[in-house]
Amino acid sequence: MGTPVHDEIPWLDSASREEVARVVEALYRVHSLATAVTDIDSLLVRISQEAKDVARAEAASVMLFDENTQELYFRTALGDSGDQDALKREVRLTLSQGIAGATAASRASINVHDAQGDARFYREADAASRFETRNLLAVPMIDHDQLVGVLEVLNKSDGGDFTDFDTRVMEMFGSLAAAEVISARLIEEKVRNERLAAIGQAVTGLSHYIKNIVTGLTSSADLIDMGLDRQNIEVLQRSWPVFRRSTKRIANFVQDMLSLSKPRKPVREACNLEEIIHDAHQTMEELFTQRKVDVVFDCQDVGGPVMLDAQAMHRCMLNLLGNAADAVEKTGGQVRIRVWRPDDEQVVIECEDTGPGVPDEHKREIFDMFFSTKGAKGTGLGLAATHKSIREHGGTIEVLDAPGGGACFRIVLPAPSVSESGQEERHPLLQS
């Protein structure tokens, strides 16, 4: 027979089989947190709670080490009494202050049976939290010789002292906690770097887009000045449409940015959806004419006014029509707008073009902010803003393959009729 485990590990002598099983289960849960929880604060709260429960303590805390200031600061603090959050707000320790500082400096566990009688005890922490510490156990959190912080449990709940068994168990907790904090930090750093890369890519794309608009504005403004100086009407007539298009592009860009900047509750009122669509088309008619794109409307089945946010829907239609115009820019072709009611509670809008369509691999991300396949010609904001507005209406938008090729953007909106809602007011934009 082999040598008994307790003979090899003396500190287990005081532990019952039930206590060992309870500790193993807690350690397994803490180890599992690494894959289940990536947020450092949530991770440390869970670890502190497990440590507090296993050690049967009244309070537990995790202090992390700040390498820049060489200080320890409370990241989590849990307790049955007192103001534990005050520790996070008010207390920072150097490595020469408090039991935690001594633990970090020596990288060794410290078990204090009489906290108030220990000269190293940092009484300001009790004063800040309005908590009276009788005894405490502090263990270092170290990963690959790197000091991560200190794990503490305070006041044995049965009135006794923390044991050698508690110390060894908390050391295992501290080691696991250190490794998982390092892992969580690496994940956060990776996410942060990915976000910075995405922001950089988005800013680059937006900068090119704005530069193109400014170039058009500057060139057309110079030509307008020349036409005015020479009283040349032909130059003015040729330059003014370019200037006007550029100002509209800037206005649309700003509106998309504003739309995406914060949540917005739609202001519903009685709207003539056909008029909204025709008004959006008239705003962009010059672009369609320039690109020789034929626009066909089929709005006969709307069945009268519907309850919608007119301004928001006008912006959505501008984005969809502009997207369709860009899609057929090189081929010419047709854009078809169809609107109908499948029932009294919904309205469906389809914007279909004869362009190349949307590849399957792009359909899931086409409504993501800053996603664009147009290079410097697109911002990646228009469809994102449209998607947000439709969702705020309680509706859905999806991109499908058009029957004859190209893309079909389908919007389904909850739109009760005016007669059911009892509202008759129409938006000023739509007043004839």
Q: Where are the domains of the chain?
A: 5-190, 200-261, 269-430
344-391: pLDDT as tens digits:
788 899 999 988 888 888 887 888 876 676 655 556 677 888 888 899
Is the confidence at residue 75, as pLDDT, over 60?
yes
Q: What is the pLDDT of residue 258?
A: 66
User: 361: which residues sit within 8 A by CB, 6+ positions away?
Assistant: none
- Band (429; pLDDT cuts 50, 70, 90): very low
143-179: pLDDT as tens digits:
988 999 999 999 998 889 998 888 988 898 888 888 8
Q: What is the pLDDT of residue 4?
A: 44
Give residue 84's Cα distance to chain centre: 29
- Band (2; pLDDT cuts 50, 70, 90): very low
Rounded to whole angstroms, how far apart are CA atoms 390 and 397?
A: 7
Q: What is the pLDDT of residue 351?
A: 92
- Per-state percent for the chain, helix, strand, coil, to nearest 5: 50, 20, 25
Q: What is the pLDDT of residue 256?
A: 64
Rounded to whole angstroms, how far apart are CA atoms 100 and 62?
A: 10
Is the confidence at residue 401, as pLDDT, over 50?
yes
- Band (123; pLDDT cuts 50, 70, 90): very high
The superfamily (CATH) of domain 269-430 is Histidine kinase-like ATPase, C-terminal domain (3.30.565.10)
Q: What angle do CA 119, 124, 125 make, to 5 degrees?
A: 100
Q: What is the pLDDT of residue 428?
A: 43
Is the confidence at residue 244, as pLDDT, over 80?
no
Is the confidence at residue 133, as pLDDT, over 80?
yes
- Band (249; pLDDT cuts 50, 70, 90): low
- Band (57; pLDDT cuts 50, 70, 90): very high
Q: What is the pLDDT of residue 263?
A: 75
Nearest to 390 by CA among 344, 339, 341, 348: 348
- Band (200; pLDDT cuts 50, 70, 90): low
Radius of gyration of the chain (CA): 33
Residues of the chain above pLDDT 70, percent: 79
Is the confidence at residue 220, as pLDDT, over 60?
yes
Q: What is the pLDDT of residue 252?
A: 66
Q: Once rounded to an integer, what is the mean pLDDT over residues 218-225?
A: 82
Q: Once rounded to an integer, what is the mean pLDDT over residues 10-35?
A: 69
The residue whose two tokens read 């009244």 is: 58
Q: What is the pLDDT of residue 54?
A: 86
Mean of pLDDT over the chain:
80
Instruction: Give first-to-last CA distance, the chain, whole Å.
Output: 99
Q: Once rounded to an integer, what is the mean pLDDT over residues 251-273?
A: 75
Is the confidence at residue 70, as pLDDT, over 60?
yes
Q: Once rounded to an integer, what is the mean pLDDT over residues 237-256?
A: 74
349-359 burial: b if 16+ Cβ within 10 Å, else e: bbbbbbbebbe
Residues of the chain above pLDDT 90, percent: 22
- Band (5; pLDDT cuts 50, 70, 90): very low
Q: Once rounded to an integer, what is the mean pLDDT over residues 332-339?
A: 87
Rounded to whole angstroms, how far apart are CA atoms 133 and 129?
A: 10
Q: What is the pLDDT of residue 305?
A: 83
Nearest to 402 by CA among 326, 316, 313, 327: 327
Query: Which is more confidently placed, 138 or 301?
Result: 138
Q: What is the pLDDT of residue 80?
A: 74
Q: What is the pLDDT of residue 426?
A: 42
283-303: pLDDT as tens digits:
777 778 777 888 888 887 777
The superfamily (CATH) of domain 5-190 is GAF domain (3.30.450.40)
- Band (427; pLDDT cuts 50, 70, 90): very low
pTM, rounded to two decimals:
0.48
